[in-house]
Amino acid sequence: MKRYQCVLITGASSGIGTEIARRLAPHAEAIVLVGRRTERLAALATELSTHYGSEVVPLTCDLSQEGNAEKLWEMVIQKMGKAPDLLVNNAGMGLYGETSDTPLHKEKSMVTLNVASLMILSKLALKVMSARRQGVIMNVASIGSFHPGPYMSVYYATKAFVLSYTEAIAEEAHHYGVRVIALCPGSTQTDFHATAGAQRKSNFCKFSQSTQAFVAETAVLSILNGYPDIVIPGWKNKVLIFIERFIPRFVVAFLSGKVLKVE
């Protein structure tokens, strides 16, 4: 008997999302894969249904557009005939640059995608899961959730929201037997940095960089094992987050700016 009846993964067309889908497929009766790149989703759906015999449904949806998160939720219930019992809110984007120069329209899309859509899908899932008294939500935050990010100011702020919101609803949800997890990866080898407009990575990012497979493996182990609820893949990232608790925030912001400003 597979553990999850219906898994919904946003941002499944590449990177961490694709690898999470591959690792969850053996444990799911049905999976819904969401992203904008239809062909990639369709190829992954064929791969997963062939290997694991799960029902895999690709759904194209732009979650940076207001109103689409609600539409997606309705579409999932309509297509699958049930609401998800595992939601992985993974879709996200970043943007590098001086805040005075970066295009506002991209930052507005980022806030809708990284914050509003994640919040709406979590809330809709929580409503159903708390009534059923079971279910799991994983929200993809970042180690950037723990500190400010000069030259990626809006992105880091969106991830601070994700961690704070996730910890808050986790506390509410555990009274109903629902688990809410924050996945906080450090720098990971995916398309993320190129899409965000990074010219090249800093030496520090290269030093602590993980593979997407390692991050996904750590995430899925947490889902299946039932702990921990704040998942920081990699010992270097864990040490970094521990140490920065003892450093004044303005110093952390200064150091973070040094790492992120790649010249």
Ligand X SMILES: NC(=O)c1ccc[n+]([C@@H]2O[C@H](COP(=O)([O-])OP(=O)(O)OC[C@H]3O[C@@H](n4cnc5c(N)ncnc54)[C@H](OP(=O)(O)O)[C@@H]3O)[C@@H](O)[C@H]2O)c1
Contact footprint for ligand X (CB under 6 A): 10-17, 35-37, 61-64, 90-94, 113, 140, 142, 185, 187-188, 190-192, 195
Q: What residues form DSSP beta bridges with 32?
A: 8, 57
Minimum CB–partner distance for residue 201 and ligand X (Å)? 9
Ramachandran angles phi, psi of 131, nearest 5°: -70, -40
Q: Which is nearer to ligand X, 63 or 178 (CB)?
A: 63
Minimum CB–partner distance for residue 111 and ligand X (Å)? 12
Q: Which is nearer to ligand X, 14 or 122 (CB)?
A: 14
DSSP summary character for residue 102:
S
Angle separating helix axes 153-173 and 118-132, nearest 10 degrees: 10
Q: Which is nearer to ligand X, 2 or 23 (CB)?
A: 23
Q: Is 155 a catalytic residue?
A: yes
CA distance 57 to 220: 20
Query: Which residue of the set 4, 155, 156, 165 is catalytic?
Result: 155
Q: Which is nearer to ligand X, 63 or 231 (CB)?
A: 63
Minimum CB–partner distance for residue 184 and ligand X (Å)? 7
Minimum CB–partner distance for residue 146 and ligand X (Å)? 11
DSSP 141-206: --GGGGS--TTSHHHHHHHHHHHHHHHHHHHHHGGGT-EEEEE---SEESTHHHHTT-SS--HHHH
CB atoms within 10 A of CB 145: 25
| Residues belonging to the active site | 155
